[in-house]
Chains A and B, each alone.
Chain A
Amino acid sequence: MIEKAHILNEDDIDRVIRRISHEILERNKGPESLVFIGIQKRGVPLADRIAKNIEKFEGTEIKAGKLDITFYRDDIGQNIKPNARITDISFDIEGKNVILVDDVLYTGRTVRAALDAIIDFGRPKSIQLVVLIDRGHRELPIRADYVGKNLPTSLNESVEVKLKETDGLDSVMVVEKG
């Protein structure tokens, strides 16, 4: 792994999250119908941060859950078996605007799996997608509604997102696959 470029630092990530929080509120005309679901594992702290921001801006409680998509993957049986993480959606999503959050949008397969999983929990009014980084190379017709940063990459690069809650620091880097 060779580090190629430092894309976002702690302050940058903080600003991006705040901007996206405002965009979500603006597009949904307030916080009333919103619930957040973070995709394991780094979508979870991102969803929490946006929800916390909105609580601060609006002075109202916002629900945030976590989703593990392992059981909905389309490559089960082809790859090494991923260890399943916890799903915790302890609120009703029926009729809500679900804000789905992940760190990096790449092929779109994770989001496809997440959409299937969410539908098993009920019928939301809408599902909107937040990603910190959109690195391109989609294999499915999926796009994000809120993007932290568009980051054109080549296939032999990978995007490494680190967050305080999971990795001890906030940063986004592009690294060359070794």
Chain B
Amino acid sequence: MLSKKSILDADSLSLEDIKLILSNADSFLEISRRDVKKVPTLRGKTVINMFFEPSTRTRTSFEIAAKRLSADIINFSPLTSSLKKGESIIDTLKTILSMKVDLIVIRHSDSGTVKMVDRFVDIPVINAGDGKYQHPTQALLDLYTIKKRFGKFEGLKVDIVGDFLDSRVARSDMNLFEKMGMDVTIVSPTMFLPEDFSGMKVKHCIDDVIEDADIVYMLRMQFERQDRKFYPSVMEYNRFLTMNMDRLGKMKPGSIVMHPGPVNRGIEITDEVMDTSGELAEKIVIEEQVTFGVAVRMAILYLILG
């Protein structure tokens, strides 16, 4: 059993919760490899996907996870809903609750909306990303990917590279990575750092960390959230932060490159790295992250609803 009914942020996941989710994910990974990719575990349960912000992998991942467990899942799309007619979120929720839904998966562009929804409803809520605040299931699938590659967490050197300030993934990842005893460094220009970054290990150029890193975690440039200012130029980004073939080649054996997707090609990661099929291709685990995401979300749905 998880310690809380909802998963709202990484901070409130206990060490036991994390271990339980990761250990169950193995069993769910096996189901996705079967010919018949379905078990009857959550038959009769109804899950609603409420995505107030665009998403490919997270929404699809939750949908596939629920379906492989035989739950019914409804995709609520705000653009074609009565929200368009001016209905408030709370009234929309009341309508949905009246239809006896068992769990809400929600993404919203405003930090904190998910917590507000959780306070309002009795059923479990899973945060699928809210504004710049948190994306806990992404962090859990990142942990699982690391567990599958390294078999341990303690002492692994991980560098989180890019727009730290605007990234909910970075915030959730950093919390869980440190909880598991990993050694986290943020690689970011000052403009992408919070005003007070004391207590954080910070570097400004990827070349400072590349040779020692076990994991290089590339953050997506959050163009949609950069309302204040923009990074000066792609050229400058490339010079300090981009993963290119040269840098990939300098990484030590067994080390990996992660990215939550979708990748801005040519910014966080070059085309050559994304499309490489050589020996170094094994270091790029972006597709593994997506595969493992389904297993981790199945484990979460099972542990909450089963």
Contacts and interface: CB of A to CB of B under 8 A. Distances in A.
Interface of A: 68, 70-73, 76-77, 80-81, 83-88, 116-117, 120-122
By Cβ-Cβ distance, the 7 closest A-B pairs, closest first, are A84-B27, A71-B39, A71-B41, A120-B36, A76-B306, A84-B24, A87-B30
Interface of B: 1, 20, 23-24, 26-28, 30-31, 34-36, 38-42, 69, 302-303, 305-306
Given A76-B41, A81-B306, A83-B24, A88 B35 contact: no
A interface secondary structure, majority: loop
Contact of A71 (B31, B35, B303): B31
A73 B20 CA distance: 19
A98 to B, nearest CB: 16
B23 to A, nearest CB: 7
A166 B302 CA distance: 26
Nearest to B299: A84
A87 to B, nearest CB: 5
Nearest to B41: A71
Given A77-B306, A80-B1, A84-B24, A71 B30 contact: no
Contacts, number: 50
Contacts of A80: 1
Nearest to A84: B27
Contacts of A84: 24, 26-28, 302
Given A71-B31, A84-B27, A121 B20 contact: no
A87 B1 contact: no
A71 B302 CA distance: 9
A81 B303 contact: yes
A121 B27 contact: no
Contacts of B28: 84
A78 to B, nearest CB: 10
A171 B35 CA distance: 38
A77 B41 CA distance: 10
B20 A83 contact: yes
B113 to A, nearest CB: 29
Contacts of B42: 76
B41 A72 contact: yes
Contacts of A85: 27
A39 to B, nearest CB: 14
A171 to B, nearest CB: 29
Nearest to B305: A77
8 contacts: A68-B27, A81-B302, A84-B26, A86-B26, A86-B30, A120-B34, A120-B36, A120-B39
Contacts of A83: 20, 23-24
B27 A87 contact: yes
B36 A72 contact: no
A116 to B, nearest CB: 7
B263 to A, nearest CB: 33
Given A71-B41, A76-B41, A120-B36, A88 B30 contact: yes
Nearest to A116: B40
Contacts of A122: 35
Contacts of B302: 71, 81, 84
